[in-house]
Amino acid sequence: MAELKTKANDQSVEAFLQKVEPTKKRDDSFKLLEMMKRLSGLEPTMWGESIVGFGTYHYKYASGREGNWFQIGFSPRKQNFSVYLMSCDAANDLSDELERLGKHKTGKACLYFNKLADIDTSVLEEMIVKALKILESKPK
């Protein structure tokens, strides 16, 4: 988690997304917002200044470091979208889905794509549901 200083706050998700440029990226952002709301059953919260997160969970590493983070989320970055599937190692836990997704890149728990038209959104939905299930099955 590169942004350990990032915390949930009361900034407006809608106001943040209304400022996203260009218009197509803004439209895709609202589609992702609705998709994640529908699939998670959770309301969105701003985390820091540029991440829309859904739900929270408490993590604790073997090193003793611990904190709270969102379960799933996204950020409409200038270069691409970052979709955070925090409960899993995207390359390993979601390898079958990644093969069917379309044009993307991955990080450990992140998925990157330029626009929704580049990917199969039904596969993205499968990935979100799977990531939430993985998190739900982890010890609390």
pLDDT at 5: 67
Phi, psi of 120 (to 5 degrees): -90, 110
Characterize the bridge pairing of strands 81-85 and 44-47: unpaired
Residue percentage of the chain with pLDDT more than 70: 91
Q: What is the largest distance, in Å, between two alpha-carbon atoms of the chain?
A: 43
pLDDT tens per residue across span 2-50:
444 689 999 999 999 999 999 999 999 999 999 999 999 999 999 999 9
In whole numbers, what is the pLDDT of the chain averaged over residues?
A: 90
User: Are the C-beta atoms of residues 129 and 122 closer than 8 Å to each other?
Assistant: no
Residue 98 DSSP class: H
Q: Which CATH class is domain 8-137?
A: alpha beta
Predicted local confidence at residue 139, as pLDDT: 64
Res 130 pLDDT > 90 = yes
Q: Could you tell me if 132 and 87 are in contact, meaning their C-beta atoms sit under 8 angstroms apart?
A: yes
Query: What is the model's pTM?
Result: 0.90
